[in-house]
Amino acid sequence: MKKLLLATFLATASLSFAAGPKPGPPHIVTIETRDLKVEFAGDRAWTIHRIFFKGELTGDRNGFYGTVFSAEGGKWIGTGHNEGGIELVKTVTLTVDGKPRDLADKAVYRGQRAEIRKRSMIGPLALEATYIVTDDCILERHRYEVTADVKIGILYAFMHCWLPRTTEWIAEKAGGTVVEGKFDNSGDFKLKDDAKWTALYDPQSRRAMLAWYPKPLVGQNIKTGYWDKTVYHKLYNQIYSHAAVVGGTKFEAAVIVRGVETDAASWKQAAKALAAETKARYEKNEIKF
């Protein structure tokens, strides 16, 4: 009973962060392609809301996606977090197969390539964000410029709220070593290293979801890690932790998300093959931002 009450509290707390001032309207826009359905939320600064792969939910809305930032000793700013202030969205556009589309509530757009591009301010960080949904990929790229000297408490470049029923994970570290493990909902972080890619498996839907990085994200503290909780197995990319960064500094982060249908016995090999295929296609410019 205590575990159930705690899980309910945490899920409610995650959603309650959207209360108060919001960075955009409470609109949900859905993009559907051959393999993917991705929802984007205006009141989460036009970041991801939910992810479906081949008809199955893989990333839920009980947490936030995108970038969040806190100054040293401060509170969260970014996407749906507003404890320390809201993400100020300056411009945002959507195109589907090259044609401009409205970010209207409950709009559903079908095509082969949809692109959301926005410019915003997250505290002292100027963000240029690109989210692209193709037939079989979600491409996310964040370009940052620090507008004033700042001591960053924590900066997560990306967050992905994978389902808590996922059971195992695997990753290739920046140095080439492959590591793997199981989830136990213990509340700690798994992996905690710089990675070329990482994937996790849901035996109920028979889906593995891959995060592949065009350049391994060099992180601090937990670096790339899964927060192993009862409400989600949330993938974080922590690129700054308790770090002084001077004004004018520019940096960027990118990730490509893909899925594969596979059984429990062979999912790790399927994930490795999908990572290798993604690398080959990216290097051939067949997958491009």
- Over residues 6-17, the mean pLDDT reads 39
- Over residues 254-265, the mean pLDDT reads 98
- Over residues 265-284, the mean pLDDT reads 98
pLDDT score for 209: 99
The residue ranking higher by pLDDT, 4 or 201, is 201
33 token code pair: 């392609």
The chain-wide mean pLDDT, for the chain, equals 94
Q: Tell me how far apart the terminal alpha carbons of the chain are, to the nearest angstrom.
A: 47
User: How confident is the model over 21-65, as pLDDT tens digits?
Assistant: 899 999 999 999 999 999 999 999 999 999 999 999 999 999 999
Backbone angles phi, psi at 12, to 5 degrees: -65, -40
pLDDT score for 20: 76
- pLDDT of 10 above 70: no
pLDDT score for 11: 39
Domains and CATH numbers, the chain: 2-277 (2.70.98)
pLDDT score for 8: 35
At 188, is the pLDDT very low, low, confident or very high (cuts 50, 70, 90)?
very high
User: How confident is the model over 94-146, as pLDDT tens digits?
Assistant: 999 999 999 999 999 999 999 999 999 999 999 999 999 999 999 999 999 99
Strand partners, 109: 31
10 token code pair: 């945490």
User: How confident is the model over 197-206, as pLDDT tens digits?
Assistant: 999 999 999 9
Strand blocks (E) in 45-187: 47-53, 56-59, 68-71, 88-96, 99-101, 108-110, 113-122, 125-134, 138-146, 150-162, 168-173, 178-182
Going from the C-alpha of 26 to that of each of 101, 161, 242, the distances in angstroms are 17, 20, 33
What's the distance, CA 79 to chain centroid? 11
- Over residues 9-23, the mean pLDDT reads 55
pLDDT score for 19: 61
User: How confident is the model over 64-82, as pLDDT tens digits?
Assistant: 999 999 999 999 999 999 9
